[in-house]
A and B are shown apart, each in its own frame.
Chain A
Amino acid sequence: MTQPYATVLTITHAVLALLMPVLLVGVINRTKSWWAGRKGPRLLQSASDLRRLLRKRSLISTVASPLFHAGAYMVLVCSLVAVAMTPMLGRFAPLQFSHDFIVVAYTLGLARIALMVSAMDVGSSFEGMGAAREASFSSYAEPALFLLIGTASAATGMTSFADLIGHLHDTPHYLLIVAPFALALLILLQAEAARVPVDDPMTHLELTMIHEVMILDHSGPELAAMQYCAGVKITLYAGLIASLLNPMNPGSEPVAAILVSLGLMLLVALVVGCIESLVARLPMHWVPRYVLLAGAAALASMVALGLGASGL
């Protein structure tokens, strides 16, 4: 499918996909510092952090196998490829083909397995624990994403990810399904990108970590890649929420669509930051229930669609 302004949109999507991980993390941290009454770090602080890490030499455990060297970069490539296929500006993604959402979900799955294998690779009990948590929580998160996709696919009858999400507001039952849909995506963001209340990126106690504990033995450029990827995941889900809510059509009014999406993504970061400031993180055994809430919300949107479509 050729879209008008495809080149402009592709370039914008690429620029946003690369920059937003830094900016969104900055916005979240800034929001948290506002709530705490601190001045807080600069908006682009994490860019400086990443640059500093890139210049450092990495330390690798003697226990690690050769796979360890590739792990971080596999996570990086997979996350970036996934974000290239995910809509961010409405009904548009640079890489788009029929049933590409399956590829997105499973590419993220590959990134996850690379992360978990890297964590297990150094033979540390903490990192093994982190990998186990990541694996079990993601197995609750994955069905939720597929339920959302199924709902969107049944509502629009389209086959590519960007079309599914971007065309939802043209469907008659948009208002019925949008709220649970967005809620499910927000919970998925928190679960997959390791944010409060599922995980706390700022914690300093190994026993309470999920994502951070898995990258304990990464350093230098590898750590930079891993930290950047966490931002990429925020961008991916924030972009999905933005395209779900964005009423503009990037094909006909690209500037408006881009601006609205940008605003919505920043808003998502703001919301995530507010939640992080106001809510304590959950005890570990509650996390699966919280993630299942995403599944329940997705199921609710599905039921709403079913009832709406059958005229009840």
Chain B
Amino acid sequence: MDHLVWAVGALMLGGVLCLLPARNGLRAGVGLASQLIATLLVWWSVIPVLMGAPDRILELPWGYPIGALHFRLDALGAFFLSWSLPMTLLGSVYAVGYLRRYFDSPRHMGVHFGLLNMISLSFILVYTGEHAVTFLLGWEIAALSAWLLVIWDYTNQRVRFAGFNYLVSTHVGLIFLVAAVMILYTHTQSWYLDDYGDWMRQNPGTVRNTVFLLLVTSFGLKSAFFPFHSWLPRAHAAAPAHVSALMSGVIHKAGLFALVHFLMISGKPDEWMGWFLIAFSITSAVVGGLYTVGQRDLKRLLGYSSTENVGIAGIGFGLGCLGQSWDHPTLVALGFGGGLLHVLNHAFFKCQLFYAAGCVYQIKHVVDMERLGGLFRLMPITAVCFIVGGVAISALPPFNGFVSEFMLYSGLFGSGISPIWATLALSLVAAALAFVGAVSALSMTRAFGVIFLGNARDTELPQGQEACGWMLAPMCLHAAGTALLGIAPTLGLAMVAAPTALLMHGLPGPQGPRILQELAGTLSRVGLFSAALVLAVLAVLWLRRRVLRPSAAASSTWGCGYGAPSARMQYTGTGFSTDFAAPFKGILLLLKRRKAPAGYFPSDSYVITDCVDAVERRLYAVIGHGDESAADISRKMHEDDPRLAFAAGLAGIVAIAALIVVSEGALP
């Protein structure tokens, strides 16, 4: 635990040093160095915990009213810390390449790198904090730093709006979190999460259910579950690529961590909680997946796919809850293990995809897929990284996404679930998950095909080539991780084994280690299969080269006999998704603005289609409507009449008093 304290010190010192007057390059170097030191220190303490060492505990005396600060590093926190800090470090390395052209400008780069340090710091606070105040503090540091990172391009009004939208949403989430903490505080008179857990284990009932719902809302807002996702596409499209990558892949996983942590400490969940989580998550996965289909902006597309993937991880957690309430340890292992593994896998491939989008933006200055095309020839490394990420995010072998979804499917098709309707309901969830996989394959093929394959659609965009090594290295490292975790899934399982065992604690029947060992056996077979598949494809390619006539002649693409095809005649992203999107009009709102050609010599005509967020649109419609009707009511009621104000105050006091009486003195 001392190493974690040193890591916090290193990050804070690094953050401060970034602000000193120096060259921008030096500031970035200080930021990276402090993050590297912190990462090594964090690994030093978390790896033993992941290998099975006992929890590390630290108590720091603090003044009234906070009391002593408690920190505890358990296997769950250790799992999240083990990849969060290194991935933030990689994101900062990418930032050096992405923002390099600002290094010689008068702009102060230290703030950006200092904020990245603060993100790492918040991970340590959130993932180890046992004290509600430090937990909330870490939560808030992450939110504010992420906001400030998003508005890097603050002179742009749209970026400021996206940032503000994010800031408001994340604080609405904080309100729910604080409400849950307040409820628990009134019952326990304590600031410690442990005490909350003890109390909830002893008093399952209405209060625990309320807290559960409040927390799911709060964590859902943090992790951008549907319908709490409306801030996400704007923020991801507005932020620099590495910030989008870190937000989507790493920072917002804090919501999922907090959810699992809550489930872990709050004792055996009720069955409805499992079903509720599954229903909530599958909705998120399906709707998030559908949204990815309609997007033109690559970064918005990737943002929506976060909603889809947190949903997939959430299905795992719901399954784990069902396993806990049914005393079914295999289901707990598959659910929580698969969910946690999916969180890790998503961090790997989502950062990689955002980095690829950043590389595209770096040379073309747009991420609108209808204007791009043929980038494979300009940037083959980025293209390969993107397709690797795309295959992984569609949960296809041989990459890591397949492994975690394999675990989830194994749970959903699990045996030994007693009522037949439960088995069939889980099969329905599996079918929905299959739909999500197919939809995500559709949107990734679409994005890859339109952006990287074919010919360039807009020749006015700047020509360019592969991005610099600072940007390629983090992306390739992520791609290597994606491939490695797919070919050797036991590595991933080893990382989630300790937290999963923690969640299986206290269940009857055969013990955790044996189940996890069997699971490792199955997964190693899956890994072998993936490796064999890759080898077989390579072998067939080699055979084709050796046995058959080797040289292929070059020709032009078949154009139905038309001799002068132009790049604008290629299939567009919108064209690709139109057929599929048609039945889902209610979710995929396609706004079309057009000016039809008129007259014998039409001068200008255009058609612009845009897929807007249905939730956000309705939200604003409701807010606008509510605003109007509130104004209307206030006009009718003569609000400035003091008698009315006194009456309202009296009614409020009576209501509060009634609440206190009804709740039999639960409030202090």
Contacts and interface: CB of A to CB of B under 8 A. Distances in A.
A120 B165 CA distance: 37
B663 interface: no
Nearest to B555: A59
A220 to B, nearest CB: 7
A57 B553 contact: yes
A139 B446 CA distance: 14
Nearest to A73: B540
Interface in A262-312: 284-285, 288, 295, 302, 305-306, 309-310
Contacts of B415: 153, 157-159
Interface string B398-433: 000010011001101101100011011011101111
Contact of A128 (B444, B565, B575, B583): B575
Contacts of A55: 549
Category for how many chain A residues contact B: 35 or more
A105 interface: yes
B622 interface: no
Given A117-B445, A124-B558, A150-B413, A77 B424 contact: no
A114 to B, nearest CB: 9
B441 interface: yes
A18 interface: no
B182 interface: no
Given A99-B409, A309-B420, A125 B428 contact: no
B536 interface: yes
A151 interface: yes
A115 B396 CA distance: 14
A12 interface: no
A167 to B, nearest CB: 13
B413 A149 contact: yes
Nearest to A295: B431
Interface in B446-492: 446, 448-450, 452-455
Interface string A95-107: 0011100110111
A146 B454 contact: no
A125 B533 contact: no
Nearest to B583: A288
Given A99-B406, A124-B559, A159-B415, A143 B526 contact: no
Contacts of B541: 69-70, 73
Contacts of B316: none
Interface string A64-107: 01110110011011100100000000000000011100110111
B419 to A, nearest CB: 9
A31 B635 CA distance: 79
B427 A151 contact: yes
A241 to B, nearest CB: 20
B434 to A, nearest CB: 4
A180 interface: no
Most chain A CB within 10 A, of B450, B576, B577, is at B576
Interface string B20-43: 000000000000000000000000
B450 A120 contact: yes
A43 interface: no
Contacts of B526: 103
B421 A306 contact: yes
Contacts of B571: 120, 124-125, 127-129, 131-132
A54 interface: yes
Contacts of A73: 537, 540-541, 544
B439 interface: yes
B373 A123 contact: yes
Nearest to A116: B445
A132 B567 contact: no
Interface in B350-399: 373-374, 376-377, 380, 383, 387, 391, 394-397
Nearest to A292: B583
Given A63-B557, A76-B540, A113 B445 contact: yes
B427 A147 contact: yes
B318 interface: no
Contacts of B647: none
A145 B67 CA distance: 57
A175 interface: no
A109 B529 contact: no
Nearest to B384: A67
B154 interface: no
Contact of A106 (B395, B423, B554, B580): B395
A139 B442 contact: yes
B553 A60 contact: yes
Given A62-B555, A77-B540, A54 B533 contact: no
Nearest to A97: B525
Contacts of A127: 571
Contacts of A124: 557-559, 565, 570-571
B396 A106 contact: yes
Contact of B522 (A78, A81, A99): A99
B537 to A, nearest CB: 5
A133 B576 CA distance: 8
A295 B452 CA distance: 34
A136 interface: yes
A302 B410 contact: no
B337 interface: no
A122 B552 CA distance: 15
B396 A306 contact: no
A216 interface: yes
Q: Name which of A102, A124, A151 has the most chain B CB atoms within 10 A of its CB.
A: A102
Nearest to A144: B431
A150 B424 contact: yes
B16 interface: no
Contact of B455 (A102, A123, A132): A123
A154 interface: yes
A303 B557 CA distance: 49
B269 interface: no
B50 to A, nearest CB: 26
B439 A77 contact: no
A45 interface: no
A112 interface: yes
Contacts of B555: 59-62
A78 B540 CA distance: 11
A197 interface: no
Contacts of B549: 55-57, 220
B662 interface: no
A225 to B, nearest CB: 9
Contacts of A220: 548-549, 552
A121 B450 CA distance: 9
B552 A59 contact: yes
B387 A67 contact: yes
A77 B530 CA distance: 12
Contact of B453 (A98, A123, A284, A305): A123
A66 B383 CA distance: 11
Contacts of A69: 541, 552
Interface in B539-585: 540-541, 544, 548-549, 551-560, 565, 567, 569-571, 575-580, 583
Among B397, B427, B583, residue most surrounded by chain A Cβ atoms (within 10 Å): B427
A58 interface: yes
A64 to B, nearest CB: 8
11 contacts: A57-B549, A58-B553, A117-B445, A120-B450, A124-B559, A125-B570, A135-B445, A145-B434, A206-B560, A220-B548, A220-B552
Given A109-B438, A216-B558, A302-B427, 15 more contacts: A55-B549, A63-B374, A63-B455, A74-B537, A77-B540, A102-B410, A123-B557, A124-B559, A128-B576, A138-B441, A146-B427, A150-B413, A150-B430, A151-B427, A159-B413
Interface of B: 373-374, 376-377, 380, 383, 387, 391, 394-397, 402, 405-406, 409-410, 412-413, 415-416, 420-421, 423-424, 426-428, 430-435, 437-439, 441-442, 444-446, 448-450, 452-455, 522, 525-526, 529, 533, 536-537, 540-541, 544, 548-549, 551-560, 565, 567, 569-571, 575-580, 583
Which 7 A-B pairs have CB atoms at the shortest separation, nearest pair first? A150-B427, A128-B571, A120-B449, A123-B454, A139-B438, A136-B580, A135-B442
